[in-house]
Amino acid sequence: MIKATINNVKIEVPEGTSILWAAKKANVNIPTLCFHPDLKPGGQCGVCVVEIEGIPGLKRACMTPIGEGFRVYTHTQKVMSARKEIVEMILANHDSDCLTCIKNNNCELQTLAATLGIKIVEYAKLEEKLPIDHSSISIVRDPNKCILCGRCIQVCSDVQSVNALAVNHRGADTVIGTAFSAGLGNSVCINCGQCVVHCPVGALYENSSVEAVWEALHDPDKFVVVQEAPAVRAMLGEEFGMPPGSLVTGKMYAALRRLGFDAVMDTNFSADLTIIEEGTELVSRLKSGKNLPLITSCSPGWIKFMETFFHDMIPHMSTAKSPQQMFGALAKTYYAQVKNIDPAKIVSVSVMPCTAKKFECQRPEMKASGYQDVDYVLTTREIGRMIREAGIDLKEMPEELADDIMGEYTGAGTIFGATGGVMEAAIRSAYFLVTGRELENLDIKPVRGLKGIKEAEIDIDGTKVKVAVAHSGAQARELLEKVQNQMATDGKCEYQFIEVMACPGGCVGGGGQSWGSNMAKRARRGEALYAEDKSMAHRRSHENRSVQAVYEKFLEKPNSKKAHELLHTHYMKRSLVDGKVINE
């Protein structure tokens, strides 16, 4: 333990603690800009400088470990002057259209400038405008607002192991961009959006579908249906000032009806459906022993990651579509048939915690209904903006239920939003599909949590099934390389079933969630989903009566020919050649 003082307050912290974290023991928040609690500190901005008695110069609090006997001062005249000067220089090189910026009132630079009392920027404003990158279906990149903090590069490289972004050029010409300056849409970007939720300013944001959805809602000739992902109900409240992990399922349904959606249903319904299709697929492969391990397929960021970096694993991927796409296919076939609606008039909208879902819905193979199965994807942030624009206060909404036919769900469907949730839901139903008996202990805790790659072994009527769960691109890479090495050496893998989610924490940590997302908030959201699961009368996907009705009235049985036509898909090999993505 190290004893020191910060602003004359005595503290004691473990050796190796940075001054930034040590200051919190003294109830002092040192301002930062490039720092993020989930990333390694890089010290790029210099805003967190402090003065240490007896040590010349200023030190960056995020990078400097506190030492025995240190006397640290966080707001001397020298420190405050340096901070203001640093922020003024950043502002001089920053596009200042704050009133129309996507991050207005959520911008860390804007907040910091106000906190430091900056009224006038003494430096000459740089007026050169760089082109905005609109090449990606999912993400827009505005280099004019970039402050070169490096967060996007770090999360893309270290957390996701994608390396789509890098520092290009040097000196005054330094920019953050892609290989060959070809744009995100022509890079190895997997559309996960982790760069977006880690960006402190408005340099990265989702490609918005808000105006298109408003247009559909205002068109009397359109019937607009909406689905909401499991993770959204555990996060939407944050958009309205509620604590992280607030569960707002019923309020969410009510708000969507007030916006004018003609049918408010739920992605959790098709999450249950996914489990039946994927679980049946798993049982079939366990019996045949072919193409094991089976790997989950509901995370579109993970799918593009696999297609780009691990396309040799395509035979091991579940062919089941994601819940979003299953819902979309059924909305314009089964639902249209039951409700006697012309599918050409149905506009299918999904509310997702995910920017990669925007890419997924526009994949050319996602037209099983004869139309584009999902027309528009809104992130949690986008639907929050629409609700506010309509003058609706989510906190004051009554609790309402989803519509029938495709609105019922079980606890297994809701835990899809947390890492390990798909695995847990699948095991609950796979056990029944194999044995004909219900699994008694439904809480499969070894696959829960945010720490690293998780493993478990499940006994299904004497058959040992070893499973693994990874969340984030880096964990997926580590796990898949292990699988590849085992198969190359032994001809088989120790696992029979693997779940991968592209985003840290699973969908609760998706790139479409609220600004300022961190692992602590993601953990609270996951806990909310497990709490809802625990409270539900039905916690196994095969108990969903609406899913049972789909098979009885429309699909015949799991993995039937019709089910494969509507609910299953295929994958492709993706390569990057001279800044161009080649799909095979």
Query: Residues with catalytic annotation?
Result: 278, 281, 298, 318, 357, 360, 365, 507
**Which residue from 359, 351, 352, 350 is spatially nearest to 304, judged by alpha carbons?**
359
Give the integer Cα–Cα distance in Å for 6 and 28: 8
Q: For the range 399-402, what are the long-range contacts, defined as Cβ-Cβ under 8 Å and sequence gap of 24 or more?
A: 399/249, 399/250, 399/251, 399/254, 400/250, 400/251, 400/253, 400/254, 400/257, 401/250, 401/253, 402/253, 402/264, 402/265, 402/266
Give me Rg for the CA atoms of the chain.
Answer: 25
Q: For tokens 């819940």, what's the residue?
A: 323
Give the integer Cα–Cα distance in Å for 255 and 183: 36
Residue 365, SS3 per DSSP: coil
* Backbone torsions φ then ψ of 255, nearest 5 degrees: -65, -40
Give the integer Cα–Cα distance in Å for 112 and 312: 47
Based on the number of CB atoms within 10 Å of its own CB, is 462 exposed (0-12), middle (13-18) or buried (19 or more)?
A: exposed
Measuring CA to CA, how many Å separate 390 from each of 265, 349, 384, 387? 20, 18, 10, 5
Q: Which residues pair with 376 in a beta bridge?
A: 349
What is the amino acid identity at position 53?
Answer: E
Based on the number of CB atoms within 10 Å of its own CB, is 120 exposed (0-12), middle (13-18) or buried (19 or more)?
A: exposed
DSSP-assigned letters across all residues of 117-166? T-----SPPP---PPPB---SSEEE-GGG-----HHHHIIIIIS-----E
Instruction: Tell whether omega for the bond before 353 is within 30 degrees of 0, i.e. cis.
Output: no
